[in-house]
Structure 1
Amino acid sequence: MQGIYLINEKIHINGLSRNESVDIQQTALLNFMNIKRVAPVKLNPYQLNQHYTIPHALLYDLKLHKKQIDCLLMYSNESIEDFAVTYPARWLILKSYFDRILTVV
C-alpha cells in the first residue's frame, strides 16, 4: 500500500512546543506506516521532506500528477481541521485523490 503523510507544524500536542509536537507526529506516523506496511509516496522530486506540511502544496502536486494514492495519513483529525473548515471545497477535492484517510490517534 502507498501513502502520503501530512504533518501539521502549527498544532501543539498536549501543550508541548512546536518542535516536540512535530517530532511526536512524525514518530507516530512513521511507526504506524511501518506496522501497516505503507510505503511513502513523494510526488515532487524537489520536495525536501518525505512528508507534506502544507495541504495546498499537496493538493497542487496531486492535481499536477493526477495520481490516485491508497491513503493519506495524519496524526489526528485536529491536524487537518483548520484547513478543512477554512477550505471545505479544497478538502473534498484533496480527499478524492485517496482511497482512505487514516489517523494515528
Structure 2
Amino acid sequence: MKGIYYINEQIHINDFSREESIEIQKQALLNYIEAARMEPVKLNPYQLYTHYTIPHALLYDLRLHKRQLDCLLMYSRNSIDDFAETYPARWLIIKSYFNRIVTVV
C-alpha cells in the first residue's frame, strides 16, 4: 500500500504543547505505517520531510504528478477540518487522488 501522511503542526492535542502534539501525531502515524506496511510516498524530492504539513503544497504536488495513491493518512479528522471547511473544493480535489482517507484516532 502506497500513501502520503499528513501532520498538522497547528493543532494542540489534549492541551499538549505544539512540539508535543507534533510528536504525538508523528509517532501514531509511524506506528500505523509500520503495522499496515504502508510505503510513504514523497512526491516532491526537494521537500524536507517524508510527510506533508501544508495541504496546499500537497494539492500542488498531486496536481503536478497526477498520481493516484492508495491512502492519505492523518492523525484525526480534526487535523484537516479547518482546511476542509475553509477550502471545501480543494479538499475534494485532494481526496480524489486517494482511494481512501485513513485516520489513526
- With the length of structure 1 as denominator, give the TM-score of the two structures: 0.99
Q: CA deviation at 1:61?
A: 0.1
Q: CA deviation at 1:80?
A: 0.1
Structure 2: gaps spanning 5 or more residues: none
Q: What code does the residue aligned with 1:15 have?
A: D
Number of equivalences? 105
Q: CA deviation at 1:77?
A: 0.2
**Partner of residue 84, structure 1:** 84
Q: CA deviation at 1:16?
A: 0.3
- Matched ranges for 1:18-33 at <5 A: 18-33=18-33
Q: CA deviation at 1:99?
A: 0.2
- With the length of structure 2 as denominator, give the TM-score of the two structures: 0.99
Moved over 3 A (4+): none
- Find out whether 1:96 has 2:96 as its counterpart: yes
**Partner of residue 61, structure 2:** 61
Q: CA deviation at 1:60?
A: 0.2
Q: CA deviation at 1:52?
A: 0.1
Q: What code does the residue aligned with 1:79 have?
A: S
